[in-house]
Structure 1
Amino acid sequence: MSKKNISTDQLISIIIEGIEDVKGEDIQLLDLRDIENTVCDYFVVCSGNSNTQVKAISGAIQKKVGKEGQEKAWHVEGESNAEWVLIDYVHVVVHVFQKQIREFYDIESLWGDAKITKISSSL
């Protein structure tokens, strides 16, 4: 099977669909391309209401990206406690938080120079 190279925009769309499939909330896209010394081009940040939902969001993203984009995450961490799961697709890093953990770390403020796009859920 030949590996299909998908664009970053396509990858982001698939990730967002995966989040929405399991009702992930407060999805934001942080564009980091104009910030020096960043590890990637984009962060996709979202919230879940419980460990179970955070795991479901993480699983849905990885499954959908694997199936539709034929991409496998380069690195995943945090799935065991499912408070904050990081899924690294090299140019795009996904952060799936439980709400209170997201509020505590406030990643959007940490990357305040990023261009932030709020994704309105299709629900």
Structure 2
Amino acid sequence: MKGCKKVLDDTKAIDIVFLDLRDVNSYLDYFLICTGNSILHCKALAREVHKYFLEKGIKERSRTTTNSPWIVLDYNDIIIHIFTKETREFYQLERLWADAKQIELD
């Protein structure tokens, strides 16, 4: 996941958070949550993440529409949530999954 975080850093994602959900949920492993400056920026972040996983030979299981303030990319073990600032503040996934362990990827 460090490689994915680097892609997001390089594409100027904001406030990247990586959550380990394995101890608090039986069907989800990891969430990677980040923020883009606009819907256009979120689309660019999603495109770069998609390219990164394709290069690793990992296919996307599903994806939400890319014209949304919340883009979800599902790669089986990891689900990536890309939000605009307002949408992230509204849904507060980190608060909903507050029992999950936050992992530092630096």
The question of a shared fold, defined as TM-score above 0.5 by the shorter chain, is answered with yes
> In structure 1, the residue corresponding to 2:57 is in which secondary structure?
coil
Q: Give the fraction of aligned pairs with identical amino acids, expressed as a percent.
A: 35
Aligned counterpart in structure 2 of residue 78 of structure 1, from 65, 69, 74: 65
Shift of 1:93: 0.3
Is the Cα contact below 8 Å between 2:2 and 2:105 reproduced in 1? no
Aligned residue pairs, count: 106
Shift of 1:72: 1.4
Counterpart code for 1:62: H
| Structure 2 unmatched ranges of 5 or more | none
> Is 1:101 aligned to 2:90, yes or no?
no
Return the alpha-carbon distance in structure 2 between the equivalents of residues 119 and 71 of structure 1: 20
1:1-123 counterparts in 2 under 5 A?
A: 12-37=1-26, 39-67=27-55, 69-79=56-66, 81-117=67-103, 119=105
> In structure 2, the residue corresponding to 1:104 is in which secondary structure?
helix
Deviations 1:53-100 (A, max 9, x none): 000000000001111x11111111131x23000000111000000011
RMSD of aligned Cα (Å): 1.4
Shift of 1:24: 0.4
Q: TM-score, normalised by structure 2?
A: 0.92
Q: TM-score, normalised by structure 1?
A: 0.80
